[in-house]
Structure 1
């Protein structure tokens, strides 16, 4: 339990977390910026502030992700609201956004499938104001989060509650992107770290990790303009399987791209 009367400066090294997490929780509990931690280092905590910070630290020590504790996570240079209804946006997924931006034509129509917090769709719409962006998710709670993020960043995104392609029947797009559930059922990672707290249905297909990717690859061709791109994020060891899947469905220019760690993190191809 953190006692009132201690200084902000002393807490930055005294808290039982890493330096970055200490700083994030201090800023959140006290409502100050990183600069404020420096300029107010001699300021002492009130009873309320000490109790608030103690609660946040305890939540983190019990494994709850920092993003859920503070309610936000940066992605593609933007702050996104996150709740336990959505996955926490990760730097790896910025690769998918970059691939989309490189391939989406002027005034292009883009579809983000399984949008969650809206990170992919909002990043695209915020960067490419000319784009016509649609995002869908089966979860109403996730769409509420995505809607809030689109509003905060002034991003024009049409949001639909839909089980994959059900809500866009008869529509075509120049590009379809997705970061679907791709962790296989029983994978040890599901019971470790932050993943323990994230929505299970957004992480795993409860099967071999490829079922959602199969659905998207099979259905996307009917919703893509000629030579339109399908781009999908996948697991660290799934690139070869996803390329084979795309080739089976007649996609051309099939390839995979590596993330900053050198891992083949996304694969895609052009519509037949």
Structure 2
């Protein structure tokens, strides 16, 4: 199941002066949509959407729709089956307005959220102000991957907090994370540092160090899934039964730079996309 979110604001665009539209397409985690968009809107709080900070007072409409396939697939279907004589292109964003492909679940989602809305007072005492200038980096034995990732984070203007390099003082990595409790995002490097297999199997598969997998799970629990991403180097074994976890291929051509930058923007970091080049 895929979820499509459209937000219209009072900002006018185009010659007709229509409301400006923002889209987030093909989301797979409805709970994440509730926590990041619906709850803040109901609490009358500004929030980030599609890389932009939206003021709740300027929001005119929020629409949440459900599709069985991705908008890319549905767009391709519509364009491949366009009647003869009609020249037009149906984009993934256009699919959101196609009733035959979508089911509007806006009312259902908002009614449910109103009943389970966490109050601001219940959470503010336990929610420290996030430092959106620092990024955790958790790694295995691949120093080159660690260094390359840290340099990219610094190129974007942020501070790379490499946990294994922090002053020890007898602290475990988990205790070091707690010491930097307000860091807002983490990158976990899955590099082929170990090998392993199921009991009884003779073929060994490459995998990340087990402490890296553990720390990944801990950070997801601490920061939230949308504030953690994993860079995966090579053909290695990764946990595949956790929904909503972001895995980005750590390729040799640096295509991962754009993906990581987008994840940082979605987490609220102010990213100058020109610095990626």
Q: TM-score, normalising length from structure 2? A: 0.31
Structure 1 or 2: larger strand share? 2
